[in-house]
């Protein structure tokens, strides 16, 4: 398994590629994925959190195009536009948080110690709709009598995987079709980020690991919720378990912050 990470990462400006990341310290091989169960969903949550204004004390104007602001923020060295400054600060903080927690978001065609914010965003967007679906499953799907999720993903699910839903449910996708689409994404990427067999796939880089983890958690019917610390805000996700008093904070530090605000 060729999944790599450095001790930590830092951001720097590159004239040709814009804001980029480099690895600091020694390079390590990630041999087990058990500690990364929430990694693909937290990656998508970075983009979703900004798109849905989950940004703490920062302010992004509603009339602004979030995608256009992200593009400008990662390709502009110096700017006096407060929207661009705010956007880059949010992306910088949350992307570094994710990389320092899990490792480098390398793909098959890039060096593991070097990433641009532009490519990071493009990869995170692939998991944004998976994050939205996972949190939707955790919060609402059990209450829906037909088990359908009525929301539009940021990428289209292959129509061939969709059953014939009623006309007024054009945006509905079943959990089964959702999981099948992720399976198809893995099969389509076998030569790029996964090797081995369909029954026993092996990730060749972080991108492949994230797809395989997402697939496994969907097969396990895992439900995820945000950490209840919304003041910082904390970007970690917690598995939602069927118990009387489920955990709502990801750590004792976040629980202490929650207690202070109550």
- pLDDT tens for residues 96-136? 999 999 988 766 555 666 688 998 898 888 888 778 777 76
User: What does the alpha-carbon distance between residue 15 and residue 247 come to, in Å, rounded to a whole number?
Assistant: 45
- Tokens describing residue 55: 């940004």
Segment 166-190 shows an average pLDDT of 64
The verdict on residue 248 lying in a domain is: no
The verdict on residue 251 lying in a domain is: no
Q: Name the one residue in this structure whose structure tokens are 């004390």.
A: 57
Which among 46, 26, 123 has a CA at the least distance from the CA of 92?
Answer: 46
Res 165: pLDDT: 44
pLDDT in tens, 227-242: 888 878 889 998 877 7
The verdict on residue 257 lying in a domain is: no
The verdict on residue 258 lying in a domain is: no
Segment 176-201 shows an average pLDDT of 74
Res 64: pLDDT: 66
Q: Which residue has the higher pLDDT, 34 or 158?
A: 34
Structural domain span for residue 164: 4-226
Confidence of residue 38 (pLDDT cuts 50, 70, 90): very high
Q: Which residue has the higher pLDDT, 132 or 90?
A: 90
User: What does the alpha-carbon distance between residue 162 and residue 156 come to, in Å, rounded to a whole number?
Assistant: 11
Degrees to nearest 5, angle at CA 232 with 226 and 234: 30
Residues written for the chain: 262
Confidence of residue 65 (pLDDT cuts 50, 70, 90): confident
Res 158: pLDDT: 45
The verdict on residue 63 lying in a domain is: yes
The verdict on residue 44 lying in a domain is: yes
142: Cα separation from own chain's centroid: 23
Total domains, the chain? 1
Res 168: pLDDT: 47
In the predicted model, is pLDDT for residue 161 greater than 50? no
Confidence of residue 63 (pLDDT cuts 50, 70, 90): low
In the predicted model, is pLDDT for residue 18 greater than 70? yes
Res 132: pLDDT: 76
The verdict on residue 252 lying in a domain is: no
The verdict on residue 129 lying in a domain is: yes
Q: Name the one residue in this structure whose structure tokens are 């202490």.
A: 256
């Amino acid at each position: 398994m060729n999944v790599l990470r450095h001790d930590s990462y830092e951001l720097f400006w590159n004239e040709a590629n814009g804001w980029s990341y480099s690895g600091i310290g020694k390079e390590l091989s990630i041999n087990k994925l058990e500690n990364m169960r929430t990694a693909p969903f937290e990656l998508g949550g970075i983009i979703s959190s900004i798109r849905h204004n989950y940004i703490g004390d920062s302010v992004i104007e509603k009339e602004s195009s979030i995608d256009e602001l992200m593009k400008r923020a990662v390709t502009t060295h110096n700017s006096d536009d407060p929207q661009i400054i705010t956007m880059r600060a949010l992306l910088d903080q949350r992307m570094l948080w994710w990389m320092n927690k899990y490792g480098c978001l390398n793909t098959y065609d890039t060096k593991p110690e070097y990433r641009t914010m532009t490519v990071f965003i493009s990869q995170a967007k692939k998991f944004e709709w998976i994050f939205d679906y996972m949190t939707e499953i955790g919060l609402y799907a059990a209450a829906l009598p037909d088990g359908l999720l009525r929301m539009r993903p940021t990428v289209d699910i292959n129509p061939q995987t969709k059953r014939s839903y009623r006309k007024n449910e054009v945006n509905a996708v079943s959990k089964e079709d959702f999981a099948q689409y992720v399976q198809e994404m893995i099969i389509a990427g076998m030569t790029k980020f996964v090797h081995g067999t369909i029954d026993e796939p092996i990730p060749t880089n972080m991108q492949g690991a994230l797809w395989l983890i997402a697939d496994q958690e969907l097969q396990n019917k895992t439900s995820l919720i945000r950490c209840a610390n919304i003041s910082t805000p904390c970007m970690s996700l917690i598995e939602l378990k069927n118990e009387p008093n489920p955990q709502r904070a990801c750590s004792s530090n976040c629980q202490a912050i929650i207690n202070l605000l109550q």
